[in-house]
């Protein structure tokens, strides 16, 4: 059985321009973007269409406090700061911010906040 993504973030004609790590996660990024302003019932439909769990979509959007604490070692903010700098560099190279958030395991809403603080508004596609 073939599994097809129902939507890609950059559109199929641009996929050849993306690095391999971004191509692999387009479905998750698209689901996060689609679910950003949706209610619970719509979120179930988005999860079904993208073949993802609601929990995964919420984790991509808002993060999981324990994952952030363990992944970035909150006792020292250096790792988180470096990851956010790397994310902003990728976004400045015109890589979609949802793709960057999923690849670097940074909650999309956190990345939007960082972008907004840098006068680079987060855009929903």
> Among residues of the chain, what percentage have pLDDT more than 70?
70
102 within some domain? yes
Give 37-95 pLDDT, tens digit per residue: 777 678 888 898 888 999 999 999 988 877 766 666 666 667 888 888 999 999 998 88
Identify the pLDDT of residue 23.
Answer: 75
123 within some domain? no
Query: Which domain range does residue 66 map to?
Result: 12-117
Give the mean pLDDT of the chain: 77
Number of domains in the chain: 1
125 within some domain? no
4 within some domain? no
Q: Is 119 left (phi over 0), alpha (psi -120 to 50) or beta?
A: left
122 within some domain? no
6 within some domain? no
106 within some domain? yes
Q: Is 63 left (phi over 0), alpha (psi -120 to 50) or beta?
A: left
Q: Is the pLDDT of residue 10 over 60?
A: no
47 within some domain? yes
């Amino acid at each position: 059985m073939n599994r097809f993504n129902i939507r890609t973030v950059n559109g199929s004609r641009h996929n050849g321009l993306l690095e391999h790590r971004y191509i692999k996660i387009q479905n998750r990024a698209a689901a996060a973007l689609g679910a950003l302003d949706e209610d619970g019932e719509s979120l179930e439909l988005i999860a079904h269409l993208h073949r993802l769990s609601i929990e995964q979509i919420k984790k991509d959007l808002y993060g999981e406090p324990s994952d952030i604490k363990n992944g970035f070692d909150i006792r020292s903010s250096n790792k988180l700061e470096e990851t956010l700098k790397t994310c902003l560099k990728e976004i400045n190279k015109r890589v979609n911010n949802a793709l960057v958030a999923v690849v670097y395991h940074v909650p999309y809403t956190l990345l939007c906040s960082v972008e907004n603080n840098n006068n680079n508004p987060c855009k929903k596609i």
